[in-house]
Amino acid sequence: MSATDSPVSSNFIRHIIAADLAVNKNQGKVATRFPPEPNGYLHIGHAKSICLNFTLAAENNGTCNLRFDDTNPEKESIEYMEAIERDVQWLGFKWAGKYHASDYFEQLYSYAVQLIEQGDAYVDSSTPEQMRADRGSLTEAGKESPDRSRSIAENLDLFTRMRAGEFADGQYVLRAKIDMASPNINMRDPTIYRIRRVHHQRTGDAWCLYPMYDYTHCISDALEGITHSICTLEFEDHRPLYDWVLDKLQTPCHPQQIEFARLQLEYTIVSKRKLLQLVTEKHVSGWDDPRMPTISGLRRAGFTPEAIRDFCERIGVTKNDSWIEMGVLENCIREDLNERAPRAMAVLRPLKVVISNWDEAKTETYHIANHPQKPEFGSREVSFSKTLLIEQDDFMENPPKDFKRLVAGGEVRLRGSYVIKCDEAIKDAAGNVIELHCSIDPATLGKNPEGRKVKGVIHWVSEQHSVPAELRLYDRLFSHPNPDTLNNFLDGINPNSLDVLSDCRVEASLLNATPDTCYQFERTGYFCADYVDSTPEKLVFNRTVTLRDSWGK
């Protein structure tokens, strides 16, 4: 709904594709790919890329592949691959084909041999330190390695033996022979193969030689017939290398690399290294902690795929270095959930209310609408009895002037029920209000009282008809708008990012709540049953987002 209904505005990539289609470039085909490295969980920044690639393809009757960029087995794992597939599917996308860079290892190797034969690559024995020194600086040209002039025959022999495992890790690398004086450092004879005896999650121990990203990515794109290879801005400087490799080789096609600005969201981080650190150091409960900006964290918090897709469409696609306010994401989920979430009543911090003019044994049951604007949502039964529970915050002894809830001697509407009047506040020895004695106006069920106006409406549950629940109130993980700018990003962590309320009472209809359904607990926020911890015996709800509150207390 929200994802497909939101106005689609143009962006520079849509323009490029439209222009290409207009001149029948690539035979009018559009083929994209989403190329994650399986070294962590997908986050909201990936969602932007996923939505971009998949929708661009879909809009143009094209295809979008899922391709794992698994060229660095040291950091990658099957667990991450499975999580990535799950998250992409959950977001609502279907890939045309699922591939791995490792599927192309053999072809990549042949192409490398070809480069050597053409005199476009050489085996270098420089140490990493030496290579760094020889690379020059931003303002000075680099120095050529002595090995740069090695004969083709010798390069071929050495490269064959590198693959055969005759050398130690790091002893040799294969380098593209380009230009050590290039103003673009990526063109100063970049390494394209390194020796690394690491077990690969898919190819096992078949290889001790692994290709580098720059060399692998462009060829993988070409082999898959990708037309538009969309990536983030930091790869802009790599485009000449992308094109150089494909120009040197006879690949099936030469995709066009297009770069866009990665998502930057206030009060969060999306560095995989830092997200991993949050997990391993237990600052959060896991990759799917509801405070994590990961797709799985957002899902567990109660976000919907539609809201995330809507968000990705709203923030746009440009090359600008921009920061998105959290409010934009929050607005997307509120807007979606306002439409689809059934309403219910939950009391977070209960305060006992005894109705003095109500019989102990009497119970009344009402049908309350599940959605105020959508009758098709139906209704559920809510019981009323002598002892009720309301929110502690909804009663004040010394209220500010504009307080429109319950006060001593005042009246308030119980949502879906009677208007009650507070006759007396009972306190404990310390002076805390522990119970209220109230009386109902029997003439106010389903109609307004005569001769006076009752402004306030509060939520409530019947003590004996409600059930206990734990509510986890999540807030943003960081209190600093840009934790990355801190010396230690952990210093930006919000110490109050989680408030666990274990003595909440919710209406009995919530007993069969499942994580698939997000509820609006009226006047408090949107909540979703926790898929890990919630059971009928012990209900646990996660707060997705609060309701907008213009009272600003």
Partner RNA sequence: UGGGCUGUCGCCAAGCGGUAAGGCACGAGGUUUUGAUCCUCGCAUACCUAGGUUCGAAUCCUAGCAGCCCAGCCA
Q: What part of residues 207-236 is at the interface with RNA (CB under 7 A)?
A: 210, 212-214, 217, 233-236
Alpha carbon distance 390, 436 (integer Å): 10
Q: What part of residues 371-390 is at the interface with RNA (CB under 7 A)?
A: 371-373
CB 441 within 8 A of CB 357: no
Sequence-separated (6 or more) residues with CB below 8 Å from residue 429: none
CB of 375 to RNA, least distance (A): 13
Is 76 noted as a catalytic residue in this protein? Answer: no
- Per-residue burial over 355-386, b = 16 or more CB atoms within 10 Å of its CB, e = otherwise: beebeeeeeeeeebebbeeeeeeeebebebbb
Single out the residue of 77, 114, 191, 392 in contact with RNA (rule: CB under 7 A).
191
- Secondary structure E strands in 261-403: 343-344, 346-347, 350-355, 364-369, 379-384, 387-391, 395-396
Single out the residue of 113, 328, 407, 433 in contact with RNA (rule: CB under 7 A).
328
Is 37 noted as a catalytic residue in this protein? Answer: yes
CB of 325 to RNA, least distance (A): 4
CB 291 within 8 A of CB 476: yes
Single out the residue of 324, 347, 351, 528 in contact with RNA (rule: CB under 7 A).
324
Choices 242-250, 274-282, 357-365, 409-417; region in contact with RNA by CB under 7 A:
409-417
Single out the residue of 97, 327, 378, 409 in contact with RNA (rule: CB under 7 A).
327
Nearer to RNA, 210 or 289 (CB): 210
Site string for RNA, 443-482 (x = CB under 7 A): -xxxxx-------xxx------------------------
Alpha carbon distance 153, 233 (integer Å): 39
Sequence-separated (6 or more) residues with CB below 8 Å from residue 55: 313
Residue 297: C-alpha distances to residues 42, 47, 178, 313, 539 (Å)? 10, 13, 44, 20, 19
Residue 547: C-alpha distances to residues 327, 337, 520, 522 (Å)? 12, 10, 9, 9
Alpha carbon distance 104, 83 (integer Å): 23
**Active-site annotation holder among 272, 299, 505, 523:** 272
Nearer to RNA, 139 or 514 (CB): 139
Is 272 noted as a catalytic residue in this protein? Answer: yes
The structure tokens 């222009």 sit at 19
Q: Which two tokens stand for residue 461?
A: 């549950």
Interaction between residue 253 and RNA (CB under 7 A): no
Choices 40-48, 190-198, 243-251, 497-505; region in contact with RNA by CB under 7 A:
190-198
Site string for RNA, 76-115 (x = CB under 7 A): ----------------------------------------
Single out the residue of 202, 404, 437, 480 in contact with RNA (rule: CB under 7 A).
404
Nearer to RNA, 143 or 283 (CB): 143
Interaction between residue 16 and RNA (CB under 7 A): no
CB of 405 to RNA, least distance (A): 5
Interaction between residue 12 and RNA (CB under 7 A): yes
Q: Percentage helix, strand, coil, to 5, in the chain?
A: 35, 25, 40
Residues carrying an active site annotation: 37, 262, 272
